[in-house]
Amino acid sequence: MYAWNGEDPCGDGDAALWPGITCSSPNDNGYRVVTELELFQVSIIGTFPIGVTNLLDLRKLDLHGNKLTGSIPPQIGRLEKLVTLNLRWNKLQDAIPVEIGQLKKLQNLFLSFNSLRGPIPKELTYLQELRYVHLHENKLIGRIPPEFGELPYLRQLDVSNNHLVGTIRELLRSEQNRAKDAFPSLRNLYLNNNYLTGGIPAELSYLRNLEILYLSYNKLTGPVPDALASIPKLTYLYLDHNALNGRLSSAFYSHPSLKEMYIEGNQFSSSAKPVGIHRTMEVSDADFIF
């Protein structure tokens, strides 16, 4: 794992490739290089194998489900051809290295289920090709960089189960973007189980491709804006266990796509629950008012 001794990991002639290795000839000259390294769930123990960062043609690095400890080394920034970086389900600690922001071709970043600390580096938002960002189940602090909203292809942002603060309104407004221009491709937004405060802004309705909105277990206050019910593809809406109050629009009940809506554990005004719901809507401990 830390070094190859003599043998070519891409095979020699009829020799078989090493397990977990994918090789290709990027220049069609017959010379093959390692382009994918997939050694997941094989009980690798110890610190991150820094020798991997010498594989400069890597497009995919998948070490998830092992027992890696310590830091993600700054040398990770050398892998400039990387498209997928999957280190989830390890025991990695310390800060997310800012050098990940040098991976300009990166589309998929999976760092969830570790013990990473510190703020989310703004440098991650420099990666214009990002599609999926999974940072959940860590110990991250601070605010979520609003520049994520400027990424043109970002489909899923999951920062749930951390120690993040700030407001949703801040997330929708960067220096370059107004709220109506934020997150043009976002489908799934997971902000649950943090310490977010303030209200739910009506500007979330500008996210026209949004399908999943997960805001549970924060410290959100105020009413739920009626405008959320105008998001055409909204399928799952989780608002439970905050301090929300006021009225809920009947438009949520008649929404053509909404399958699940969790609102319990809030302070909504008491009223009779709607009758004849034909989709799964969890409304215990909080009732609709029309």
Q: Does residue 128 sit within a domain? A: no
> What is the side-by-side strand order in the sheet with 260-262?
21-24, 33-38, 60-62, 84-86, 108-110, 132-134, 156-158, 188-190, 212-214, 236-238, 260-262
Structural domain containing residue 167? 156-177+185-290
Which two three-digit tokens encode residue 150?
Answer: 């400027």
At which residue do the structure tokens 């105020």 appear?
222
Q: What is the DSSP letter of 14?
A: T
d(CA 2, CA 67): 15
Q: Does residue 223 sit within a domain? A: yes
Q: Does residue 120 sit within a domain? A: no
CATH number at residue 290: 3.80.10.10
Closest CA to 263 of 284, 277, 233: 284
Task: Report the domain count for the chain.
Answer: 1
pLDDT of residue 101: 98
pLDDT of residue 271: 60
Q: Does residue 191 sit within a domain? A: yes
What pTM value is reported for the model? 0.90
Closest CA to 164 of 117, 197, 196, 116: 196
Most distant CA pair in the chain, distance: 75
Q: Does residue 233 sit within a domain? A: yes
Q: Does residue 130 sit within a domain? A: no
User: Taking the CB of residue 256, how many other CB atoms lie within 10 A of it?
Assistant: 7
* Cβ contacts of 178 within 8 Å, gap of 6 or more: none
pLDDT of residue 26: 73
Q: Does residue 289 sit within a domain? A: yes
pLDDT of residue 5: 53
pLDDT of residue 269: 77
CB-based contact 41:66 (threshold 8 Å): yes
pLDDT of residue 7: 67
pLDDT of residue 14: 47
What string of pLDDT tens digits covers the 290 residues of the chain? 444 555 677 766 545 467 889 988 877 666 788 999 999 998 999 999 999 999 999 999 999 999 999 999 999 999 999 999 999 999 999 999 999 999 999 999 999 999 999 999 999 999 999 999 999 999 999 999 999 999 999 999 999 999 999 999 999 987 777 778 899 999 999 999 999 999 999 999 999 999 999 999 999 999 999 999 999 999 999 999 999 999 899 899 899 999 999 999 999 876 634 333 334 455 443 443 32
Instruction: State the DSSP string of 234-282.
Output: --EEE--SSEEEE---THHHH-SS--EEE--SSEEPP-PPPS---S--B
pLDDT of residue 281: 53
Q: Does residue 196 sit within a domain? A: yes
Closest CA to 41 of 8, 90, 105, 6: 90
d(CA 231, CA 193): 23
Which two three-digit tokens encode residue 277?
Answer: 């719901």
